[in-house]
Structure 1
Amino acid sequence: MDRLEIKASYLQAAQLFAAKNDPRYYLKGILLTPENGGQIVATCGHKIIAIQDDELQALADPIIIELGGPITGYADIARIDGLDDGRGIVTMYRGGNIVKTAAWSKVDAKYPDYERVMPQPHRESAGLVGVGFNAEYMAICQKAARLITGKKDTFVKLSFGAVDTDIITVSFGAENVRMGVMPCRIK
């Protein structure tokens, strides 16, 4: 499969969660995987998003792509060309018209086991009093929710694990999207 079309908002939201300047170069990429019903995954190690999209089930193998720049702008569809070559172009469309293009290249690495740290819905708080987190990461979760829903007044729900070191689950009603923020120590 040399070409893939996905919702542009999914790719834009994932780009918000990818690392910017990190020695772990693979975290600067976005994982596209056919596993678990097809997933778009991005993390910087402090915040994470996994978006389920059936279109990715057509991929033969997982691939990590690093975009050559931000893919901002109003678009409906993102077409990723060149999957067989390991580099290509992401073309963003709105109403059939091209609104943005960006180069991408394959990151030759193994992506971390994201399912190990992903928020799990069955965990409940056992009297947790408080937890610290970076508010900027919550703002990114809010921005991703707005991108995906297309609504300006999207609200997020925070769910906490049993202890203050569990990942904080951030949800907004889209069942195919999981987001999380790692807690931090407050001195």
Structure 2
Amino acid sequence: MTDNTTEATPITAIFKMVYLAALEVFMARNDVRYYLNGICVKPCSEGGVLLTATDGAHLLMIRDKSGFASREFIIPNMSHVLKICKPAQSKKSKILSDTPSAIVIDDNRLNIVTESFCKIERAENELGEYQDHLHSAWPFKEIDGKYPDIERILPRETPNIKKATPDPAVQINSKYLADIHKAMSRLCPKTKYVTTIAQRGKYDPLVVVIGAPDIEAFAIIMPMRYDETENCAVPNWAYNSPSPEATKETAAAA
């Protein structure tokens, strides 16, 4: 639980709202670890803000280098806000300047501001006069809890793909790969992206680096433990072409 000092500290933050739509895919649902049922926002030491969602089995982290947060906090599952954040909603806006674009959190209120506000220059780590560019606003109360220390599960040494000698097989929940595609479809619906997957050791997390213009993001997928005797070879029935001898016999008979 957070201490009294943290609870009394007001929150100021701003970041692109589409990031919430992508992170929602990785967020836990009704987990007893209640702090996972939300999205963590915290300042980044290299500038900007980090946004993270995980259910304990897979994770997505995005850096908004143009955003900021006054401190770490957890956004609860606000379905009405997440609905607006999805790209399909913003396409309905007829005027580009009125398109919802960013989230501004000012103490106890979550505001969605339009594209016109994002184009205005403002001082670093300052919200600016966002009230004149509001799309919508709701009361906001952070999840009162401590988010896991994500750095503890991140591999310290990234495998060299060219020199890697991976194990012959690794088992993962295929839904997690589908979740990456779903999140990226929301994050950059009109832009092609690539994913690079690497693993340091057999039971280490899989690191999935997202490659897309103006996007800084990666995912973590925890592998499943499998039987050492599990066969990952292509099944024999796939090689159903007739043998050379059989082909000659067939030709001779014809």
- Give the TM-score category using the shorter length: 0.7 to 0.9
Shift of 1:9: 1.9
- Find the counterpart in structure 2 of residue 151 from structure 1: 190
Displacement of 1:17: 1.1
Instruction: Provide the alpha-carbon RMSD of the alignment.
Output: 2.8
**136, 139, 142: which one pairs with 1:106?**
142
After TM superposition, give the deviation of residue 2 of structure 1 in Å. 5.3
Distance in 2 of aligned mates of 1:169 and 1:8 = 24
d(CA) in 2 for partners of 1:133 and 1:41? 21
Decide whether the 8 Å contact of 1:18 with 1:27 is kept in 2: yes
Alignment of 1:11-90 (within 5 A): 11-36=20-45, 37=47, 38-57=49-68, 59-69=69-79, 71-72=82-83, 73-74=86-87, 75=90, 77-82=101-106, 84-85=107-108, 88-90=109-111
Distance 2:175 2:54 in 1: 14
Question: Partners in 2 of 1:112 and 1:152 — Cα distance?
Answer: 32
SS in 1 for 2:56: coil
Greater helix content: 2
Q: Cα distance, 1:179 vs. partner?
A: 0.9
The answer for the alignment partner of 2:169 in structure 1 is 130
Deviation at 1:144, TM superposition (A): 1.8
2:204 and 2:28 map into 1 onto residues whose CA distance is 21
Aligned length: 181
The farther-off stretch of 173-182 and 143-152 is: 143-152
What letter corresponds to residue 150 of structure 2 in structure 1? Answer: Y
| Partner of residue 179, structure 1 | 219
Structure with the bigger percentage of strand: 1
Change (3 A) 1:20 1:102: farther
2: CA distance, partners of 1:164 / 1:104: 42
CA separation in 2, counterparts of 1:180 and 1:158? 9
- Between the two proteins, what is the percent identity of the paired residues? 26
Conserved in 1, the CA contact under 8 Å of 2:63 and 2:217?
yes
TM-score by length of 2: 0.61
Distance in 2 (CA, whole Å) between partners of 1:41 and 1:141 is 14
Gaps of at least 5 residues in structure 1 are none
Any conservation in 2 of the 1:4–1:55 contact (CA below 8 Å)?
A: no
CA distance in 1, matches of 2:225, 2:139: 38
Report the 3-state secondary structure (helix = DSSP H, G, I; strand = E; otherwise coil) of the residue aligned with 1:142.
helix
Indicate the structure (1 or 2) with the bigger Cα radius of gyration.
2
Question: Does the CA-based 8 Å contact 2:102-2:115 persist in structure 1?
Answer: no
Q: Secondary structure at the match of 1:137?
A: helix
In structure 2, C-alpha distance between the alignment counterparts of 1:54 and 1:153, rounded to whole Å: 21
Identify if the C-alpha distance between structure 1 residues 118 and 91 changes in structure 2 by more than 3 Å, giving closer, same or farther. Answer: same
1:24 & 1:153 partners in 2: Cα distance?
A: 35
Change (3 A) 1:136 1:119: farther
Write out the 4+ residue segments of structure 1 that deviate beyond 6 Å after TM superposition. Answer: 94-97
Work out the CA distance in 2 between the residues paired with 1:119 and 1:127: 15
Deviates more, 1:40-49 or 1:174-183: 174-183
